[in-house]
């Protein structure tokens, strides 16, 4: 039986949607030297050296998705595949129970001091974001209420998705 629409129901719907959001991960990559890379349909792009944070989500099979990101033997399909083959994976931050979408979660990364937005379109073919990639000169540390977060989750996932 359908319930009538109302503000309470809208709130309930939002809550159930938030429960079903897929895990969101942030790949933290280090590129030792500035270089140009051909990134699929985006063409030749300049990647300054430093750190990159790429935001993605995995509705099915988080471990296998991360294993793919860590693998060097893959056919390039996503924009990030070009970068993961030349940059070193430093950390993976995982949000198992995200309260915000992948796009909003990437917005949070952009709020970390030192974040730069590289060229448009990287990892954001399916949404309206500028990109899902942030660049930092130094290793970014995500703090919330003064404490670094997401480190525990990182260890748990990498335990089953090692290179
Ligand atoms: Zn987006």
Encode pLDDT of 24-58 as tens digits. 999 999 999 999 999 999 999 999 999 999 999 99
Rounded to an integer, the average pLDDT of 83-98 is: 89
pLDDT of residue 147: 52
Q: What is the pLDDT of residues 128-154, one digit of tens each?
A: 999 999 999 998 876 655 555 554 444
Task: Kindly state whether residue 9 falls inside one of the protein's structural domains.
Answer: no
Asked if the structure places residue 111 within a domain, the reply is yes
**139 within some domain:** yes
- Residues 136, 50: contact at Cβ < 8 Å? yes
- Residue 143: predicted pLDDT: 60
15 vs 99, higher pLDDT:
99
What's the CA-to-centroid distance between 117 and ligand 1, angstroms? 13
Q: Is residue 125 left, alpha or beta, with left meaning phi > 0 and alpha meaning psi from -120 to 50?
A: alpha
Domain tally for the chain? 1
- How many C-beta atoms surround the C-beta of residue 146 within 10 A? 5
Range(s) of the domain holding residue 143: 21-158
| Residues of the chain above pLDDT 90, percent | 52
In a domain, 15, yes or no: no
Average pLDDT, the chain: 81
Greater model confidence, 6 or 81: 81
* 7 assigned to some structural domain: no
Protein residues near ligand 1, an ion, with CB under 5 A: 103, 124, 127, 129
Note whether residue 118 is domain-resident: yes
**pLDDT reported for residue 93:** 86
As to burial, measured by CB atoms within 10 angstroms (0-12 exposed, 13-18 middle, 19+ buried), residue 36 is exposed
Domain presence at residue 57: yes
pLDDT in tens, 104-122: 989 988 988 899 999 899 9
Distance (angstroms) between ligand 1 centre and the Cα of 106 equals 7
Has residue 60 been placed in a domain?
yes
Residue 148 is inside which H or E element, if any? strand 147-148
**pLDDT per residue as tens digits for the range 56-84:** 999 888 999 999 999 999 999 999 999 99
User: How far, in Å, from the CA of 57 to the mean position of ligand 1?
Assistant: 11
pTM: 0.78
């Amino acid at each position: 039986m359908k319930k009538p629409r109302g503000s309470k129901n809208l709130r309930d719907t939002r809550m159930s949607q938030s429960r079903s959001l897929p895990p969101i991960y942030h790949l933290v990559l280090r590129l030792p030297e500035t270089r140009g890379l051909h990134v699929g349909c985006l063409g030749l792009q300049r990647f300054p050296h430093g750190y990159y944070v790429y935001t993605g989500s995995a509705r099915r099979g988080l471990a296998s998705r991360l294993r793919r990101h860590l693998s060097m033997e893959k056919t390039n399909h996503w924009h990030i595949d070009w970068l993961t083959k030349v940059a070193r994976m430093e950390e993976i931050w995982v949000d198992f129970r995200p309260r915000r979408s992948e796009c909003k979660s990437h917005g949070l990364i952009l709020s970390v001091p030192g974040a730069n937005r590289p060229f448009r379109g990287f990892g954001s073919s399916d949404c309206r974001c500028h990109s899902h990639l942030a660049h930092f000169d130094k290793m970014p540390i995500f703090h919330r209420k003064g404490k670094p977060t997401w480190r525990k989750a990182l260890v748990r996932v990498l335990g089953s998705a090692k290179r």
